[in-house]
């Protein structure tokens, strides 16, 4: 410290209720306060805070005693300068000043004396609310406030304290008129190191950009089990042979949903292009307009006990469709699929088929908690219900060759025969006649099927559509083909490639996460499209295409106006949402609320309730 500018002795006022106090100091070469050259950007400031916290942690760990002693005020001013009077606040104190010191670390003038004894620091922390490091070339100064609590002594410790005050001469560091922490040089070294690290990081960042480019160039893979690489949805639609939803179709969907008065507006997933592709939607709407009955079909492969936000996307949309169209819905739980693909067998404990059956029940609770209409919804486990679909499964087996299935799903001679048989089981619910009781349908039914799902499930239904005519009467409105409406993938926290995975804890927010977990995951893991420094962010704004917080808000923030505001402000680095921090905070709020209300509804779903939803019964909507 340059003691002309600031005294090494900082006045402090100890709070009486909790014996705590604080002292403050300013750092920065620029203002001639100290020789430390402060960093110029936010990362450098973080390094500085870390170093300071380390120093404080050491002080606490060493359990250094606080020593109190008195000196004549005139001597103290003579020796340490007027600064100890803190701009005159202490001018009117008595002639003797009480000082408290941790030898070599800090020394304070203590104007009131409720705790004028010696003790150990119980607790010491940087008070971030009152400290700041102003970064940037111009300012480069830091104001730091250290809060501490003085421990009270046990009776035996009090007895050991000398009754006379300790003479100032015994405080070694005060003799030098200097207080030096060993971390001072460490801090300096850290900052130099930081400078070097910055340069290295810039070089490394260039490599990462290169790698990212390669990752983007990495072949896009979308199968029913694997989603990899940066997804080009236009290309995908071309490869799969589905069709993008255009304005014309959107208007027709609006007329068939909003136009019927059951929902106030198009679902945000449609408004924002999240459900973006389809097969035969227009033909389905033709049929619906003619009064042909239809039903919805979707599903879940229960591979883990908790579902993540990505899984929720098709279900939230299906719920809206059910309300909007006022139609029945069947939901398939493919516990058989998950066992065939992920199950295990050991000689000691046998296989784990039952495990997947129990996951069906756990996942069913999450699905029921999406608020479907019980009277119009049938939820079934393949293991349980498959017998009713069996005639149709056999028909599909007969119609599809092994070569076709291998071609679509990549099976080969080493795949277990269940895998090869399974696609027919996911295909079967596309035909109303698989539900003789539930949909009151026989082979001669007119009912049309619409399947909302993410686009990874499309291969199953391409196969289904190819052979569909063999399972329906000749004049079925869609030739038996199920219509499909496809969603894009809800991206993982790490960035906008691939899809979220249940097996990577930190790639997803789960429906069982606590508010704290949600906050932590988003703060720590959500990939940011924000710029490196405040200045760059305020000049260029964030890259919204890769920013996960913004992408997630697009899925879950209902209010279009607010989303547009965030898009504008974050994209330009201005206004309330100029920074990643602000956008993440908003996302955390939105998700905490969404997950909490989901959990509240889920908690009410008892085993009995699940059984009711899974009981075979008619869900046909009787229309007058
Ligand atoms: P599963 O359990 O892998 O996924 C359930 C549903 O969630 C969709 N999905 C996603 N949507 C958006 N973003 C994501 N990150 C994301 N991850 C998963 C899936 O596309 C699916 O719609 N075999 C199926 C179960 C099934 C099914 C169906 C699905 C059986 N019949 C009919 C849809 C329609 C499965 O394992 O889904």
Domains of the chain in start order, with CATH, are 10-196 (3.30.980), 505-602 (1.10.240.10)
Mutate to test the pocket of ligand 1, among 226, 457, 503 (most ligand atoms within 8 A of CB): 457
- pLDDT of amino acid 455: 96
The atom of ligand 1 lying closest to the CA of 224 is: 23
CB 120 within 8 A of CB 65: yes
pLDDT in tens, 559-617: 999 999 999 999 999 999 999 999 999 999 999 999 999 999 999 999 999 999 999 99
Q: pLDDT band for 114, please (50, 70, 90 cuts).
A: very low
Q: Cβ of 600: how many Cβ atoms within 10 Å?
A: 10
Separation of CA 320 and ligand 1 centre (Å): 17
Cα dihedral 229, 231, 235, 238 sign: positive
For ligand 1, is residue 492 a contact (CB within 6 Å)? no
- In the chain, pLDDT over 70 holds for what percent of residues? 71
Q: Is the pLDDT of residue 126 over 50?
A: yes
Residue 332's contacts (CB-CB under 8 Å, 6 or more residues apart) are: 297, 298, 299, 300, 380, 382, 426, 429
pLDDT in tens, 165-196: 556 666 666 666 555 566 666 666 766 666 67
Q: What share of the chain is helix, strand, coil (3-state, %, to 5)?
A: 45, 15, 35
Q: b or e along 431-464 (b: 16 or more beta carbons within 10 Å of the residue's beta carbon)?
A: bbbbbbebbebeeebbbbbbbbbbbbbbbbbebb
For ligand 1, is residue 491 a contact (CB within 6 Å)? no
CB 109 within 8 A of CB 21: no
Rounded CA separation 258/267 (Å):
10
pLDDT in tens, 464-475: 999 999 999 999
The atom of ligand 1 lying closest to the CA of 457 is: 20
Separation of CA 454 and ligand 1 centre (Å): 6
pLDDT (mean) for 11-21? 66
Q: Whose CA is nearest to atom 30 of ligand 1?
A: 299
406, with CB counted inside 10 A (0-12, 13-18, 19+), is middle
Q: Return the SS3 of 487.
A: strand
Residue whose C-alpha is closest to residue 573's, from 545, 529, 541: 541
pLDDT in tens, 255-292: 999 999 999 999 999 999 999 999 999 999 999 999 99
38, with CB counted inside 10 A (0-12, 13-18, 19+), is buried
Q: Whose CA is nearest to atom 34 of ligand 1?
A: 298
User: DSSP label at 455?
Assistant: G
Q: Cβ of 169: how many Cβ atoms within 10 Å?
A: 9
Q: b or e along 202-233 (b: 16 or more beta carbons within 10 Å of the residue's beta carbon)?
A: eeeeeeeeeeeeeeeeeebebebeebeebbeb
**Phi and psi at residue 402, to the nearest 5°:** -60, -40
CB 14 within 8 A of CB 150: yes
Separation of CA 313 and ligand 1 centre (Å): 9
For ligand 1, is residue 482 a contact (CB within 6 Å)? no
Separation of CA 397 and ligand 1 centre (Å): 23
Q: Whose CA is nearest to atom 27 of ligand 1?
A: 299
- pLDDT of amino acid 225: 76
CB 525 within 8 A of CB 501: no
CB 528 within 8 A of CB 550: no
For ligand 1, is residue 453 a contact (CB within 6 Å)? yes
Please give the C-alpha separations between residue 522 and each of 255, 436, 516, 527, 591, in angstroms, as whole numbers.
Answer: 38, 46, 10, 9, 10
- pLDDT of amino acid 386: 98
Cα dihedral 334, 393, 610, 624 sign: positive
- pLDDT of amino acid 75: 78
CB 360 within 8 A of CB 407: no
Q: Which of 83-92, 94-103, 194-203, 448-457 has the highest mean pLDDT?
A: 448-457
Q: Cβ of 519: how many Cβ atoms within 10 Å?
A: 18
Residue whose C-alpha is closest to residue 369's, from 600, 602, 531, 150: 602
Q: pLDDT band for 2, please (50, 70, 90 cuts).
A: very low
Residue whose C-alpha is closest to residue 55's, from 19, 2, 102, 5: 102
Rounded CA separation 70/112 (Å):
12
CB 97 within 8 A of CB 73: yes
517, with CB counted inside 10 A (0-12, 13-18, 19+), is middle
């Amino acid at each position: 410290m340059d003691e002309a500018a600031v005294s090494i002795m900082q006045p402090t006022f100890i709070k009486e209720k909790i014996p705590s106090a604080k002292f403050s100091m300013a750092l920065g070469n620029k203002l001639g306060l100290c020789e430390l050259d402060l960093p110029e950007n936010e990362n450098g400031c973080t390094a500085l805070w870390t170093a300071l916290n380390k120093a404080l942690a050491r002080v606490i760990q060493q359990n250094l005693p606080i020593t109190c002693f008195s000196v004549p005020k005139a001597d103290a001013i003579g020796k340490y300068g007027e600064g100890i009077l803190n701009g005159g606040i202490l001018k009117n104190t008595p002639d003797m000043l009480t000082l408290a010191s941790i030898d070599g670390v800090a020394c304070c003038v203590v104007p009131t004396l409720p705790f004028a004894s010696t003790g150990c620091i119980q607790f010491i922390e940087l008070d971030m609310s009152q400290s700041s490091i102003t970064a940037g070339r111009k300012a480069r100064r830091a104001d730091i406030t250290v809060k501490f609590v003085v421990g009270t002594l046990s009776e035996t410790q009090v007895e050991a304290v000398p009754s006379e005050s300790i003479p100032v001469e015994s405080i070694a560091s005060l003799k030098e008129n200097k207080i030096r922490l060993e971390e001072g040089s460490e801090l300096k070294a850290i900052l130099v190191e930081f400078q070097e690290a910055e340069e290295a990081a810039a070089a490394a960042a260039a490599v990462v950009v290169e790698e990212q480019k390669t990752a983007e160039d990495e072949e896009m893979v979308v199968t029913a089990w694997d989603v990899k690489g940066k997804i080009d949805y236009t290309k995908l639609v071309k490869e799969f042979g589905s069709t993008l939803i255009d304005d014309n179709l959107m208007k027709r969907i609006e007329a068939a949903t909003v136009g019927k008065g059951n929902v106030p507006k198009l679902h945000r997933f449609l408004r924002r292009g999240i459900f973006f592709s389809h097969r035969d939607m227009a033909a389905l709407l033709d049929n619906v307009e003619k009064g042909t009955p239809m039903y919805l079909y979707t599903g879940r492969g229960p591979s883990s006990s908790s579902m993540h936000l990505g899984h929720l996307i098709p279900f939230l949309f299906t719920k809206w469709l059910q309300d909007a169209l006022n139609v029945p819905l069947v939901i398939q739980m493919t516990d058989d699929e998950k066992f065939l693909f992920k199950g295990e067998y050991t000689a000691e404990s046998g296989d784990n088929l039952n495990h997947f059956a129990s996951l069906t029940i756990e996942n069913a609770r999450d699905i029921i908690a999406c608020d479907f209409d019980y009277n119009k919804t049938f939820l079934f486990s393949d293991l349980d219900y498959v017998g009713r679909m069996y005639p149709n499964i056999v028909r599909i087996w007969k119609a599809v060759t092994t070569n076709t299935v291998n071609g679509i799903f990549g099976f080969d001679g080493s795949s277990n025969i269940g895998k090869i048989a399974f696609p027919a089981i996911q295909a079967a619910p596309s035909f109303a006649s698989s539900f003789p009781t539930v949909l009151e349908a026989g082979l001669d039914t007119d009912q049309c099927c619409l399947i909302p799902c993410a686009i990874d499930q499309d291969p199953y239904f391409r196969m289904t559509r190819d052979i569909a005519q063999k399972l329906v009467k000749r004049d079925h409105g869609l030739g038996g083909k199920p219509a499909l409406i496809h969603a894009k993938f809800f991206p993982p926290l790490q960035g906008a490639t691939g899809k979220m995975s249940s097996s990577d804890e930190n790639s997803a927010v789960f429906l069982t996460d606590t508010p704290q977990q949600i906050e932590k995951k988003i703060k720590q893991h959500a990939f940011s499209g924000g710029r490196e420094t405040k200045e760059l962010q305020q000049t260029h704004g964030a890259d919204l295409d890769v920013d996960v917080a913004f992408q997630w808000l697009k899925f879950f923030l209902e209010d279009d106006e607010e989303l547009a505001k965030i898009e504008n402000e974050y994209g330009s680095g201005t206004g309330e949402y100029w920074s990643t921090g602000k956008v993440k905070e908003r996302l955390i709020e939105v998700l905490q609320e969404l997950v909490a209300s989901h959990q509240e509804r889920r908690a009410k779903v008892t085993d009995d309730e699940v059984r009711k939803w899974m009981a075979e019964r008619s869900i046909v909507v009787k229309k007058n």
